[in-house]
Homo-oligomer: A and B are copies of this chain.
Amino acid sequence: MKRELPLADVYTVLEPGPVVLLSTSRQGVANVMTMSWHVMMEFEPPLVGCVVSETSHSFAALEETGECVLNVPTVELADKVVSCGNASGRTVDKFKAFGLTAKPAAKVAAPLVGECYANLECQVRDRQMVTPYNFFVLEVVKAWHDPAVTRPETLHHRGYGRFMVAGREIVLPSAMR
């Protein structure tokens, strides 16, 4: 069902600002966290900056393995997205507890979250701002999407449990990429 997404199009997935699920694998144990603090930094090869709290279990995995997957959920997964944000991988197997499917990635050990419409396999490229900002620069090395989902109903965090769901689309005569 999923097809490869050209790396040059990765920005179209992340630029609208969706909540993502960041998945990792450390010593064979998969984990997943909810994240909204990410930014495109280059078109191709696609670079993505993200802030991962140093208090999170995922931070340690990302630091140690240098790999993760950014998975983009749509509104059907809202309850699971919030559950992943409210629990810690230290004490909970979130894939099992919240009914998420870990699928093998092509280029990284971290799993794809099968239920998400897009999955971006990433390797850490630059750690110079991990201190003091917990800011990692990731390179997307392989990307997948469900081509049937052309207007994904992504979630956009407004704070304290409020989420905006992606609405209608407009097309304007932009010369911008």
Contacts and interface: CB of A to CB of B under 8 A. Distances in A.
A26 interface: no
Total copies of this chain within the assembly:
2
B37 A39 contact: yes
Nearest to A135: B41
Interface of A: 9, 11-12, 15-18, 34, 36-42, 47, 49-51, 75, 78-79, 82, 85-86, 128-129, 133, 135, 137, 151, 153, 156-177
B16 A85 contact: no
A169 B159 contact: no
Given A41-B37, A79-B172, A157 B15 contact: yes
A156 B82 CA distance: 22
B16 A158 contact: yes
A167 B153 CA distance: 9
Nearest to A85: B176
Contact of A164 (B82, B157, B159, B166): B166
A51 B15 CA distance: 12
Top 10 closest pairs, chain A to chain B, by CB:
A17-B17, A167-B167, A39-B39, A16-B156, A161-B174, A12-B159, A86-B175, A82-B172, A85-B176, A165-B167
A17 B165 CA distance: 12
